[in-house]
Amino acid sequence: MLKRKFFSLPNLLSDIGNGQELFHPRSGRVSDSFLILGSSIVFFLFASLLISSIAFLFQIPITSCHFFGAAGITLLYAILSCSLHPDPNRFFDISMVFILLVSSFYVCLLISRIFFDLSYDGQAYHQEALIQLNRGWNPFYEQLTSPQANNMHRWLNHYSKGVWFYATMIFKVTKDIESGKLFHFWLMIAALSVTLSFLLRFETLSRSLAVLISFLVAFNPVSTYQSLSFYLDGQLMSLMIILAGVLGFIYRESKRIHYCLFLMVIPVLVNVKLTAGIYTGLIMIGYMGMLWVKSKFEQLRKTLIYTLIAFFLGFVLFGFNPYVTNTLQRGNPFYPALGTDRSDYTYPQFPANFIGKNSFTLLFYSIFAKSDNVRGLEKKAYLKIPFTVSKDELGAFTDTNAKQGGFGPLFGGAILLSFLIIMAVLWSLYSPSQKTGPEKSNLGVKENAAKRASSPNIYWGLFCLALVLATCLINPASSLARFVPQMWLFLIISVLLAYSLKNKVIRILGHLTLMVLVLNNVLVGYTYYQYNLKITRIYNQRLEKMAVISQENPMQFYFGHFLSSNTLRFDRFGIVYSIVRKKEECRNGQRILPNSIIIKCETK
């Protein structure tokens, strides 16, 4: 009988001593280096939440020491991971991972500080949360009131707070609230690294294809058009990509470093948004069911143990607020997303023809509708011909929240190509030539054998497609791409299915899908970054001009829900102003930017 090796400290120390249980002995240096880089970024977030949560329990607010503590042990983790690699050139790997880790953080920090977050949610309650935490708010013991939180108390008291914790640590160190946005880009780099590390293991993929697919996965449309804001859906998507990658590693190799990354990514993920816990739970149920069907009982046992530990850390320790506090106060850990007095997120976001529609119909519109930002009873969303692009629909991607067609103008066409791939793959499995013996097959003995060998992987790929669809369809607001960003993975899995077979026709479909996705992402990225460069430059100029004028003629402003975030911004620019508390008291008001709720009032 095979002797089981249970998780214990002596076993772990023994594994660390020889390094064989941490890395696959034949795995490539490049692949493992990218895995260490990606896991080190996740480790920083994990360490940040661990330090913050323990500090809150002892009534210690977030300080700059939190950042330096998390950064220090993250560097130790990266160095230790490289040192335990069985390759003799491990010290070169340590240097490269260290350089990439530090330089990527610094570059992401620089980019985040250049741009203003001008999104509504970013200015209304995300920055409000960072400001409150920076002032010493302890959400484990304190509930903010409406006057304290500028009427944003419901969201601050009851929403997930993981991102706010580590963003506030950066805010503490840099004294610049915009720097907290850096984790969008840094997590995209982590998702790229883990995905590339995983795909480099596949012999059916060339290195160039592995790199291209990894970039398409990491720099997906939702992550791209939220990368300069405090919105959370892009970070949720990056962490889901990392989770998918590490689950793939566990299925194929099942090494300690994979379980370590798994144990870190879930607690971070479930504290990004309330929906993240539901998505993660569904994914893990499906994944463990797959292990059971495949009779991988040892991996199933370990995965179940690590999942329970990760959920305890995520929901009880790191997520004490909101999950525990919501349960104690509201009887529902997912309040206000669920419950009898939940907030209705769907109605305010929908155009007239979305009201009352089921999730399948809404997801259909998310894929095949013209990209737009319409909402309200007087507006309608429209379907369009796949593979077509109009100039006006690109305007939807200047915002962080494209409400229809949010995966890009060419996503619907790419989905049609993916359906062709799926049908072609199924035909290759169940065609008459597959059922006949090798001697009667005109495809040849080797190709027929290859198809039989790849069949299990194809079945699991199809299962993963169904699981992705399930996680999207459980969301009643599936028409918004940012609420179901994982739908992007449906295309990626389809492409990988295409390359799992040596059928030329199916591979051509895979090539075409990749070409469409590249063009789609270029259109989205170019539109978003060009607009944000322009609007940031305009806003900078206006703030500088107001700073000069206000020195002699102090100004009056109505800030509304943007009070805390923008008074902080105005103070930094040295603008002399007074605050008008009620909009009706603002005489002859003019918006300072076209889409801003901040109004400059006429002074007497």
Whether the Cβ atoms of residue 580 and residue 557 lie closer than 8 Å to each other: yes
pLDDT of amino acid 391: 86
Q: Which residue has the higher pLDDT, 430 or 553?
A: 553
**Confidence bin at 378 (pLDDT 50/70/90):** confident
Does residue 157 have a pLDDT over 60? yes
Query: 365 in helix, strand or coil?
Result: helix
Query: Residue 336, preceding bond cis, omega within 30 degrees?
Result: yes
State mean pLDDT over 285-300. 92
pLDDT of amino acid 341: 65
Give residue-wise pLDDT tens across range 89-143: 667 777 888 999 999 999 999 999 999 999 999 999 999 999 999 999 999 999 9
Taking phi over 0 as left and psi of -120 to 50 as alpha, with beta for the rest, 61 belongs to beta
* Domain locations in the chain as residue ranges: 24-328, 347-530, 551-601
pLDDT of amino acid 72: 97
According to DSSP, residue 111 is labeled H
pLDDT of amino acid 3: 41
Does residue 84 have a pLDDT over 90? no
Does residue 21 have a pLDDT over 50? no
pLDDT of amino acid 96: 87
Can you say whether the dihedral through the CA atoms of 447, 449, 451, 453 is positive or negative?
negative
State mean pLDDT over 313-333. 94
Query: Quick one: the chain helix, strand, coil %, rounded to 5?
Result: 65, 5, 30
State mean pLDDT over 188-211. 93
What are the phi and psi torsion angles at 89 (to 5°)?
A: -95, 35
pLDDT of amino acid 203: 82
**Confidence bin at 6 (pLDDT 50/70/90):** very low
pLDDT of amino acid 443: 36
Q: How far apart are CA 353 and CA 345, in angstroms?
A: 16
pLDDT of amino acid 202: 87
pLDDT of amino acid 455: 64
Long-range contacts of 577-582 (CB under 8 A, 24+ apart): 577/550, 578/554, 580/556, 582/558
**Percent of the chain predicted with pLDDT > 70:** 89
Does residue 437 have a pLDDT over 80? no
Does residue 448 have a pLDDT over 60? no
Query: 369 in helix, strand or coil?
Result: strand
Query: 510 in helix, strand or coil?
Result: helix
Give residue-wise pLDDT tens across range 207-253: 999 999 999 999 999 999 999 999 999 999 999 999 999 999 999 88
Q: How far apart are CA 26 and CA 357, in angstroms?
A: 52
Q: Give the lowest-confidence range in 24-28, 244-248, 308-312, 377-381.
A: 24-28
Whether the Cβ atoms of residue 36 and residue 42 lie closer than 8 Å to each other: no
Taking phi over 0 as left and psi of -120 to 50 as alpha, with beta for the rest, 533 belongs to alpha
pLDDT of amino acid 18: 43
Give residue-wise pLDDT tens across range 38-82: 999 999 999 999 999 999 999 999 999 999 999 999 999 998 888
Give residue-wise pLDDT tens across range 484-499: 999 999 999 999 999 9
- Rg (alpha carbons) of the chain, rounded to whole number: 25
pLDDT of amino acid 26: 40
- Which three-class secondary structure string do you get for 536-596? HHHHHHHHHHHHHHHCCCCEEEECHHHHHHHHHHHHHHCCCEEECCCHHHCCCCEECCCCC
Edge to edge, what strands does the sheet with 590-591 contain? 577-579, 555-558, 599-601, 590-591
Half-sphere exposure of 149 (CA within 13 A, CB side): 24
